[in-house]
Structure 1
């Protein structure tokens, strides 16, 4: 018999968490703390399991999220996470069945997009998701960074202070809300995110080690940036070879961003700084006296988006020029397809169903890749993923959709 697909309740959590951990190659034993955290931070109507003979063999959850689009508006998103299928039950369509249920419910709720961080590239395109932002991480050799060795205070006149986890939980949410409306691709963080990220809640799979927090205050005293980091200690021949691993760094101004990176690269005994996931066009390397001191560790796709309401998605963002474009959006799931007239300008935008001839034909997943301004329509056409039906339509799409700075999602979810 085919496994049963259903939402779960509190009594299912221990088995569900064990299946989730197994899928991510972690120890399957769920602690009481794991159970308590999940009870506080999950929605039973949006948490799914597949059950075979009473045992959980696949997991899936979604939760409410806000996504920032180009121009600073936020749209409601269906954030997809905790997706696993046990190796004994692969290739049976379990994920397809659960995903269809979740996306249909998200559409009915009025979510504009679904979002996820793809652990594996080939899986999610068939469900209408496309890579909307990319990420890059660097490893900085502080000895080569060519910073002033006398550096002790930010050049802007502000200051760096250390903060306790309790203080971060107090000011962090407000700082993040000011930050995220500036960055297309940034997402909201709930109360439990801050509890876990600052160590107030620690689950069995979380990395051990103490985190430190540095805050940038502007000359007027306003908190404009936060860096959270930990140390990896190593000495060779009585010489420090320690590494500072940056877990999070957000800033609402370039001055704050510069000051925090300069601080991290100036800590005594720290020989290397790993940056964690940053925007591909991050300002960081050029904050250094020698940008070559920052070597790329990783560059990859990151945030994937699946449009659920094309008019609301395209009307929510801003556009740098005035133009019209007729899009034929194909959606095998029947959730967001159709032909739409995008009439955009810096003064305002409308996107409505139309019977006019299509100028570009694309899958809903390609619209997901384009909507935050990162992908280029011309490039996708060269790859055979978009069809230009009117000469010049690709150039129009790129003039409308592409952005000067690349989108960035700082968070894993």
Structure 2
């Protein structure tokens, strides 16, 4: 029997970091002392778990406080899970299950509404009640094919705004407010702390990463407000005959308005020598392809699940988001862990929602993981019914759920954590 998980002490933290690196296939070298000190200051050891055998860490798990934007713009407290590893020598011993149980129970006790994570592997987390609540898409743009006028001013004169190149210090100053504006209108967005901005601008780079200074550009609206931020890197590749074949790779693009998004994408596709643009992870319904005269110039290279959620408080979760439809459903929610299951009467309208326990007969029965798929409006209840993942006890109940949970736009989480 393997030892039980427990919280990690400051003295054990360097070995915990080593085990994290092993799990993510990084070179098995000791973590430099200066990096240990920096990273130790950034974690809550009370939420950092490890399994130790013979004085060596063989499994890791950490969580931290996060806010998640739900449909309608409300932000709910989330338990963000990260740094989950089990050393290859200790797989299939239930270590992750025990660490997850400890963390989810603590999150429930704290009052977190959901738990969140980015799943490195698809099959793992469904058994703990997580479901993919958002998806992501990445495009590669063939710039010459896009059809943009290379002689045109960017932004165009009718726009009235302008684009400025800035540095990391400007990004740390301007970025947080811009991200808050995005979070107010885009469900699926998660909060960013000061450390996120420091790392994104090169002030805190782990030893296992090689830092290459990016370009930063902001879009200023006609009134001078910063409505967009773009971070990108460019290579120096040239082909035969002295032909430029340079690629720009986007590290992040945030637009508070469609005008800002259009201007920044157009700017990026108008830089001399750039013939290919890799967009980074975007929402599946991103406006980008349709900013181009020829949308086919944007080729999908990645489409995959991204943000996974696990509901911990069904009434609070369902009452926190908004709904465009009017409807009533009795949901029987199965939860093998006993954290969020029960039968709930959900009544919604554009003016608000109520979700309370009930003894009425269920209209639908579904697993808590499938409710997570529906929660941000990114999945169809009719699709889940067709897949046999929910049971319909009242005629057309799946159609009602589909209308109730759907959102006007798709969920998008810009961040890996």
Give the TM-score range, shorter chain: over 0.9
1:169 aligns with 2:172: yes
User: Any idea what the Cα deviations from partners look like across 1:52-108, whole Å, max 9, x if unmatched?
Assistant: 111000111000000000000000000000111110000000000000000000000
Q: Distance in 1 between matches of 2:253 and 2:35?
A: 27
Q: Distance in 2 between matches of 1:386 and 1:207?
A: 46
Q: Distance in 2 between matches of 1:198 and 1:151?
A: 31
Which deviates further from its counterpart, 2-11 or 188-197?
2-11
What SS does the corresponding residue of 2:264 show, helix, strand or coil?
Answer: helix
Q: Is contact 1:17-1:28 (8 Å) kept?
A: no
1:394 aligns with 2:398: yes
Q: Distance in 2 between matches of 1:34 and 1:365?
A: 37
Q: Is contact 1:65-1:188 (8 Å) kept?
A: yes
What SS does the corresponding residue of 1:367 show, helix, strand or coil?
Answer: helix
**Shift in Å, 1:206:** 2.2
What SS does the corresponding residue of 1:240 show, helix, strand or coil?
Answer: coil
**Shift in Å, 1:11:** 1.2
**Shift in Å, 1:2:** 1.6
Q: Which of 234, 238, 243 matches 1:235?
A: 238
Q: Is contact 2:154-2:266 (8 Å) kept?
A: no
1:165-204 to structure 2, matched below 5 A, reads: 165-204=168-207
1:219 aligns with 2:216: no
Q: Which residue of structure 1 aligns with residue 279 of structure 2?
A: 275
1:341 aligns with 2:345: yes
Which deviates further from its counterpart, 202-211 or 234-243?
202-211
1:104 aligns with 2:105: yes
Q: Which residue of structure 1 aligns with residue 25 of structure 2?
A: 25
Q: Which residue of structure 2 aligns with residue 12 of structure 1?
A: 12
**Shift in Å, 1:170:** 0.8
Q: Distance in 1 between matches of 2:33 and 2:142?
A: 41
Q: Distance in 2 between matches of 1:205 and 1:369?
A: 34
What SS does the corresponding residue of 1:410 show, helix, strand or coil?
Answer: coil
Q: Distance in 1 between matches of 2:120 and 2:84?
A: 9
Q: Is contact 2:190-2:415 (8 Å) kept?
A: yes
1:319-338 to structure 2, matched below 5 A, reads: 319-338=323-342
**Shift in Å, 1:3:** 2.4
**Shift in Å, 1:32:** 2.8
Q: Which residue of structure 2 aligns with residue 114 of structure 1?
A: 115
1:112-151 to structure 2, matched below 5 A, reads: 112-151=113-152
**Shift in Å, 1:321:** 1.7
Structure 1: gaps of 5 or more residues: none
Q: Distance in 2 between matches of 1:284 and 1:390?
A: 41
User: Any idea what the Cα deviations from partners look like across 1:150-169, whole Å, max 9, x if unmatched?
Assistant: 12321321111011101100
User: Any idea what the Cα deviations from partners look like across 1:91-141, whole Å, max 9, x if unmatched?
Assistant: 000000000000000000000000000000000000000000000000111
**Shift in Å, 1:26:** 0.8
1:39 aligns with 2:43: no
Q: Which of 297, 301, 306 matches 1:297?
A: 301
**Shift in Å, 1:239:** 1.5
Which deviates further from its counterpart, 151-160 or 278-287?
151-160
Q: Distance in 2 between matches of 1:290 and 1:309?
A: 45
Which deviates further from its counterpart, 378-387 or 229-238?
229-238
Q: Which of 366, 386, 408 matches 2:412?
A: 408
Q: Distance in 2 between matches of 1:207 and 1:282?
A: 30
Q: Is contact 2:217-2:229 (8 Å) kept?
A: yes
Q: Is contact 2:202-2:211 (8 Å) kept?
A: no
Q: Distance in 1 between matches of 2:360 and 2:316?
A: 20
Structure 2: gaps of 5 or more residues: none
**Shift in Å, 1:205:** 2.3
What SS does the corresponding residue of 1:267 show, helix, strand or coil?
Answer: coil
Q: Distance in 2 between matches of 1:194 and 1:391?
A: 50
Q: Distance in 2 between matches of 1:397 and 1:38?
A: 44
**Alpha carbons of structure 1 residues 240 and 33: separation in structure 2 relative to 1, 3 Å:** farther
Q: Structure 1 length as normaliser, TM-score?
A: 0.99
> What root-mean-square deviation, in Å, do the aligned CA atoms of Structure 1 and Structure 2 show?
0.9
Q: Is contact 1:59-1:85 (8 Å) kept?
A: yes
